[in-house]
Chain A
Amino acid sequence: MNEKELEILHLLEQNARMDIKTIAKLIDQTEEEVEMMLKKLEENKVIVTYATVVDWSKVNNHDGVTAMIDVKVTPQRGVGFDEVAERIHRFPEVKALYLVSGTYDLQVVIEGKTMSEIASFVSGKLSALDSVISTTTHFRLKTYKHDGVVFGDDDEDHRMMVSP
């Protein structure tokens, strides 16, 4: 990966809607060059998708609950954690799944409509998997920062209008 591609990734990570013309100017390349690099990054799945960070707490009548679940599992011979991870991430409720070091093995992020919906997923589906030994569920109460973006309006410019 060259430096310009890295620059593109950092720019798009901040703003996925940035247009090619602007990117080209910022990184001092032609629009065609940027298009080529983007195509390559997309084809190689380096750019996985173009998503939007939404502050759902500002959306009326959006009742949703997010939980982070720490899961302890027995690794399987030959495949380690991959097989059980795959079984877990196929559930559409699962928003994110990570293999982590420490007391637990997997961290599962679940989104549901209600707490009881999540409770039934944990007891009915997740815990029911053979290799799952234990689960600890944490409900998310408030989002302060997500994917590097601070939620709330603290980006005011306090500088004087004109200065030497």
Chain B
Amino acid sequence: MNTSSTQQHRLSETVQQLKPSGIRRFFDLASTMDNVISLGVGEPDFVTPWNVREASIVSMERGFTSYTANAGLIELRRAVSYYLENSFGVSYHPESDIVITVGASEGIDAAFRAIINPGDEVIVAEPCFVSYAPIITMAGGVPVPLETTKKHDFKINAEDLEGLITSKTKAVLLSYPNNPTGAHMSKEELEPVVKVIKDYDLLAVSDEIYAELSYDYEHASLPAFPGMLERTILISGFSKAFAMTGWRVGYVCGPKDIMAAVLKIHQYTMMCASTSAQFGALEALKNGRADVEKMVASYRQRRNYLVKTFAEMGLECHTPLGAFYAFPTIEKLGMDAETFAEAFLTEEQVAVVPGTVFGSGGEGHVRCSYATSLESLVEAMERFKRFMDRHG
């Protein structure tokens, strides 16, 4: 009996179709080395603020260890609603329009499963977070990459978007501030994109997990545009702004009918998000403002440091306007992104992530996270310079 073909039959064709994440390889390689400085980490370098951790501990001490409502603690949904209204001018009803999820990732998954019929196309602005395309595929949809490029500072060009729309297009997925490029789109820049989405009567899924980490201009939330509330699914969470990645708490907001579907999926798959984590998240929204501001100020400084140092080295890098990633071009070294990242790691023990991992438009770039201590950044830049002198 041929084992491999038998085993192949055991697996879903959809899953087999998924490519393994390109990040894994670098993780494995970096893990075997000593003295590695990692600019490859996609999460804050801060530990969750103590008041948040403490609130979660207290909830456990007081015996809040049972399930919450499927949609999440009502106090937390009220706090999310209040926060979104105050920060971004979008109105969601806590009872019907908000579901607390196990991280934003579950939210993205539930959102696509709620709206996709087999064969539906979803246009995804790339480079982007590695999970979007696989999640769409797993939901039975077809991800259609919309390449954004350095030429347009990795912002969506409305004409390019329009060119990809077919009779099968169901939704557009966008995420600004963006991982991995650090790009951000202002209100004015989003206007034409919004127009296309409305003209073609599409849905929008807007992953705004990095909204708080906007350095140069105010974050423009997609559902805040006139006529967009009823056609947008907003995804966000606590991981980035409040340094709560390991807690896995996020939320999905949207129009009632879609949220009823999201809730149905969420209740059958997750029941509810972790209760103690939800209590932490509630404290974060109630009393976390000052900590967020401090962290944002610190990211902004490190962003400045990195961009200026790249400029000194003669490395081209568009100014990241949000998130905590810089996305410099390494084309002048005559290597592709994968080769560069591997050589840089092997020769200088600095881990960066090749842009190709994040989809089309990523070639020629590497993602450098500046959510790491200034000392590490300084040392990493020295090693960068050494590497460039050797290969440039």
Q: Is B59 an interface residue (CB 8 A)?
A: no
- Whether B27 lies near A161 (C-beta < 8 A) is yes
- Whether B41 lies near A161 (C-beta < 8 A) is yes
A-B contact count (CB 8 A): 56
How distant is B244 from chain A, measured CB to nearest CB, in Å?
13
Stretch of B30-38, B66-74, B267-275, B383-391 contacting A (4+ beta carbons < 8 Å): B30-38
* Residue of A22, A25, A27 most packed against chain B (CB within 10 A): A25
- Whether B41 lies near A159 (C-beta < 8 A) is yes
Chain A window 130-164, contacts with chain B (Cβ cutoff 8 Å), 1 for yes, 0 for no: 00000000000000000000000000010111111
Partner of A25, one of B23, B42, B304: B304
Q: Is B195 an interface residue (CB 8 A)?
A: no
Residue of A nearest to B306 (CB): A25
Q: In the assembled complex, which residues on chain B have CB atoms less than 8 Å from the CB atom of A28? A: 304, 308
- Whether B305 lies near A163 (C-beta < 8 A) is no
How distant is A140 from chain B, measured CB to nearest CB, in Å?
23
In the bound complex, CA of A7 to CA of B294 (Å): 11
Q: Is A26 an interface residue (CB 8 A)?
A: yes
Partner of A162, one of B26, B302, B309, B378: B26
In the bound complex, CA of A10 to CA of B129 (Å): 33
- Whether A26 lies near B43 (C-beta < 8 A) is no
Residue of A nearest to B31 (CB): A161
In the bound complex, CA of A49 to CA of B42 (Å): 38
- Whether A25 lies near B309 (C-beta < 8 A) is yes
- Whether B302 lies near A26 (C-beta < 8 A) is yes
Q: In the assembled complex, which residues on chain A have CB atoms less than 8 Å from the CB atom of B130? A: 164
Partner of B305, one of A25, A159, A160: A25
Query: With A26-B304, A27-B301 in contact, is A161–B38 under 8 Å at CB?
Result: yes
Partner of A26, one of B31, B129, B301, B353: B301
Q: In the assembled complex, which residues on chain A have CB atoms less than 8 Å from the CB atom of B23? A: 162-164
Residue of B nearest to A26 (CB): B301
Q: Is B351 an interface residue (CB 8 A)?
A: yes
How distant is A148 from chain B, measured CB to nearest CB, in Å?
12
Q: Is B131 an interface residue (CB 8 A)?
A: yes
Q: Is B40 an interface residue (CB 8 A)?
A: yes
How distant is B246 from chain A, measured CB to nearest CB, in Å?
9
Query: With A26-B305, A27-B301 in contact, is A160–B45 under 8 Å at CB?
Result: no
- Whether A163 lies near B301 (C-beta < 8 A) is no
How distant is B285 from chain A, measured CB to nearest CB, in Å?
24
In the bound complex, CA of A27 to CA of B305 (Å): 8
Residue of B nearest to A28 (CB): B304
In the bound complex, CA of A11 to CA of B31 (Å): 32
Partner of B304, one of A27, A161, A162, A163: A27
How distant is B129 from chain A, measured CB to nearest CB, in Å?
6
How distant is B47 from chain A, measured CB to nearest CB, in Å?
8
Residue of B nearest to A6 (CB): B297
Chain A residues proximal to chain B, CB less than 8 Å? 7, 10-11, 22, 25-28, 157, 159-164
Beyond A159-B41, A161-B31, A161-B41, 7 additional contacts (C-beta under 8 Å) are A25-B309, A161-B36, A161-B351, A162-B26, A163-B23, A163-B27, A163-B43
> Lowest 7 A-B CB distances belong to which pairs?
A162-B40, A26-B301, A162-B27, A161-B30, A25-B308, A25-B305, A163-B42
- What are 8 A-B contacts defined by CB distance under 8 Å? A26-B374, A160-B27, A161-B41, A161-B351, A162-B351, A163-B40, A163-B41, A163-B43
